Every structure is written in structure tokens, then in C-alpha cells.
Amino acid sequence: MAETTGKKKRGRPPKNKPENTTEVKTTENKKVKKQRDLNEEIEVKCIVQGGLIYVTSQGFEIIWDEYGDVNHIPYKELIYMANKYKRFFTEPWVIMDEDVLKDLRVIRYYKKIIDYENIDSIFTKTPEQLKKTLQDVSKGTLRLIADRATAKIKDGSLDSLKKIEVLQQELKIELI
């Protein structure tokens, strides 16, 4: 066997603890966040008029044909989308449950969001309320509102000249 020589051992010396002390462990009430399964299917809704196409990390296409269409996408693909194609969230072009948006760390892009389920309710507001609402929403939402306004003018359900004038000023487009 090996004999010990007068050489010092390498590394940090052990801490000397007094023999009569006891350790008191304190526990903090920390919320342990459950990690989401990467293969969990997440319901993703298109909020763009005219449809949308997303190419996955494996090269497959996910197609939303029109506004309101829903596709189920694995959570790992949403992570890829948030990192590689951030514009899907910054514009925003898609929407999903709030907890998923928080997990993906893109919730900040949805702060000034309007109710996409009832997007047409924006046209029932007074011209002053409409102007204030249009000043607070994102560019992608403005495009969606412009598309919806054009469709409503064509079908005759939006006929208030004051509202149309506010829309044209705020959206910087010609509707009539």
C-alpha cells in the first residue's frame, strides 16, 4: 500500500465545525414551477385576416386558412417559433392561453391587446373611444382592424362617416 509522505494534500481544507452546535435549516415557501412537457399540444389561434403559414423546425407547414382558425402545435415548436420567428408574437399573428405566453416569455407583446374573440365590437364604440383604442394597439392589430373595417364597409354594417373618418386617420389608409 501507499505510504503517506510529508506532502500536503491539494484542494480546499475541510471546515472545522464545533462539536456542540446544531444546524437549523430554514425552509422558504418558494413556488416550484412545474416544467411544461415539450410534446404537449397547445391550441394556437390565428388572429390575422387572410390566413397564415408557419414552417416548423422539421420543415413541415402549418397553415391557418383564415382569421380564427386553430391548430394544435407541440410546445417545443412554439419555443422554436418564439426564438426563430419572433414576429409571430410581436405583431401578434397568433394567440394562445396566457400561461403559455408567460412560459414562452412573450406576454409583453400582448399587453395592449384587444378582445380578438369580439374584434367587431370595436366598431360599436363612439368615434372618440375608437380613436383612443386605435392609438393603443399594435401594428398587427391595426392591420386586422383595417381588414375588418373594409369588410364591414363592403357589407354595409359600418356606415358611420365619423367612425370611418377616425379609422382612416388612425390607420392611415383610404377605406372609401
Strands (E), the chain: 41-46, 52-55, 61-64, 70-74, 94-95
The tens digit of pLDDT for each residue in 46-97 reads: 988 888 999 999 999 999 999 889 999 999 999 999 999 999 998 889 999 9
CA 99-139-46 angle, 5° bins: 50
Q: Compute CA distances 10 → 5, 13, 17, 142, 155, whole Å.
A: 13, 8, 20, 67, 84
Beta bridge partners of 44: 71
Note the pLDDT of residue 16. Answer: 66
Note the pLDDT of residue 103. Answer: 94
Considering Cα of 167, then 168, then 170, then 173, what sign does the dihedral take? positive
Cell of 76: 417545443
Cell of 35: 416544467
d(CA 12, CA 169): 71
Note the pLDDT of residue 35. Answer: 85
- The parts of the chain modelled with pLDDT lower than 70 are 1-9, 11, 13-14, 16-33, 113
